[in-house]
Chains A and B, each alone.
Chain A
Amino acid sequence: MRLLAPILANLMLIVAAFGVGRLLRALFPKQFSSVDRLATILLAGLGLLGALLFLIGLIHLSLSVILIVLLPCAMLGVFALRKEWPDLRQNLRLSKIPKLPALAIALILLITFIGGLAEPVGDIKMDAIAYHFLGPHIWLRDASIHVIPDESLSAFPATVETLYAALMAVGGTRGPELFAFLSVGILLLVSYGFAVRLGLDTAGAWWAIALIATMPVVYRGAYGGFVDAIFSGFLLLALRFALDAQTSADFALSGIFAGLTMATKYTGIPALVLIVIAALALEFASKSTISPTHLKGLLLLAVTACVVASPWYLRNWLVLGSPMYPPPPSLLHFFHIKYMSPDAVNSLAAIVRKEGLGMGHSFRSLLLLPFHLTFHPANFLNGPGGVGLALLALSPFGILLRWRDPFVGGLLLFSVIEIFGWFVTEQDARFLIHIYILLAIFAIWGWSVVAERSPRTGRILSGAAVACSILYGLGLIVPARIPDLHAALSPAFEKRRKFEEIPYLESFSLLDANAAAEKVLVLEPRVPTFYLNQNYLKPLGRFGEQSIPEGNDFRLLDGKLSAYGITHILDVRLDDHGFRVPPGQPNLQLIFERDDQRIYRVSPLQ
Chain B
Amino acid sequence: MTSPNKKSREALRSIPSWVMDLWIAWIVVAFLVIRVLGSGTAQRLLSHFGLRHP
Check if B27 sits within 8 Å of A402, measured CB to CB.
no
Please state if B12 and A401 are interface contacts (CB–CB under 8 Å). Answer: yes
Instruction: Please judge, given known A-B contacts A465-B27, A465-B28, whether A404 and B53 are in contact too, CB under 8 Å.
Output: no
- Interfacial residues, chain B to chain A (CB-CB below 8 A): 1-2, 4-5, 7-9, 11-13, 15, 17-18, 20-21, 23-25, 27-28, 30-32, 34-36, 46, 50-53
In the A-B complex, list the 10 residue pairs whose CB atoms are closest, starting with the nearest: A454-B17, A404-B5, A389-B31, A393-B27, A199-B2, A461-B24, A393-B24, A453-B17, A457-B21, A201-B1
With A375-B46, A472-B36 already in contact, 19 other A-B pairs whose C-beta atoms are closer than 8 Å: A200-B1, A204-B1, A372-B51, A374-B27, A375-B34, A375-B35, A376-B52, A389-B31, A402-B5, A403-B8, A453-B17, A454-B20, A458-B21, A461-B24, A461-B25, A465-B28, A468-B31, A468-B32, A472-B35
A200-B1, A201-B1, A364-B50 as given contacts; A454 in contact with B28, CB under 8 Å: no
Complex Cα distance, B17 from A392, in Å, reads 17
Q: Which residues of B are found within 8 Å of A28, using beta-carbon distances?
A: none
23 CB contacts below 8 A, A to B, read A201-B1, A364-B50, A368-B50, A372-B53, A374-B31, A375-B30, A375-B35, A376-B52, A376-B53, A389-B28, A393-B28, A400-B8, A400-B12, A401-B4, A401-B9, A449-B12, A449-B20, A453-B15, A453-B17, A461-B21, A464-B24, A468-B32, A472-B35
Cβ-based interface call for A142 (8 A):
no
Bound Cα distance from A400 to B20, whole angstroms = 12
Task: Check: A420 CB closer than 8 A to any chain B CB.
Answer: no
CB of A359 within 8 Å of the partner chain: yes
Q: Does A235 contact B (CB under 8 A)?
A: no
Which chain B residues border A392 with CB–CB below 8 Å? 27
Name the B residues within 8 Å of A454 (CB-CB).
17-18, 20-21
A5: shortest Cβ distance to chain B, in Å? 40
Contact of B52 among A375, A386, A396, A400 (CB under 8 A): A375
Q: Is the CB of A450 within 8 A of B1?
A: no
Q: CB-defined interface of A398-416 with B at 8 Å, one 1/0 digit per residue? A: 0011111100000000000
A599: shortest Cβ distance to chain B, in Å?
45
CA distance in complex: A487, B32 (Å): 32
Main secondary structure of the interface of A (DSSP, over half): helix
- Chain B contacts for A462, CB-based, 8 A: 24
Give the CA-CA distance A272 to B5 in the complex, in Å.
29
Which residue of the partner chain, among A200, A394, A404, A472, contacts B24 with CB atoms under 8 Å?
Answer: A394
Assuming the contacts A450-B20, A458-B21, asked whether A371 and B51 have C-beta atoms less than 8 A apart, the reply is yes
Closest-CB distance, B46 to chain A (whole angstroms): 7
A317 within 8 A of B: no
A448 near B: Cβ within 8 Å? yes
Residues of B within 8 A of A376 (CB): 34, 52-53
Whether A404 lies near B28 (C-beta < 8 A) is no
A401 CB contacts on chain B under 8 angstroms: 4-5, 8-9, 12
Say yes or no: is A173 at the interface (Cβ < 8 Å to chain B): no
Q: Give A401 to B2 CA distance when docked, in angstroms.
A: 12
- Assembly CA distance A406 to B4 (angstroms): 11
A552 at the interface (CB under 8 A from B): no
Smallest CB separation, A19 vs chain B (Å): 34
Chain B residues in 8 Å Cβ range of A472: 31, 35-36
| Chain A residues whose C-beta falls within 8 Å of the C-beta of B23 in the assembled complex | 393, 396
Do A379 and B1 contact each other (CB < 8 Å), given the known contacts A374-B31, A401-B12, A404-B8? no
Most buried by A among B8, B15, B24: B24
Chain B CB within 8 A of A422 CB: no
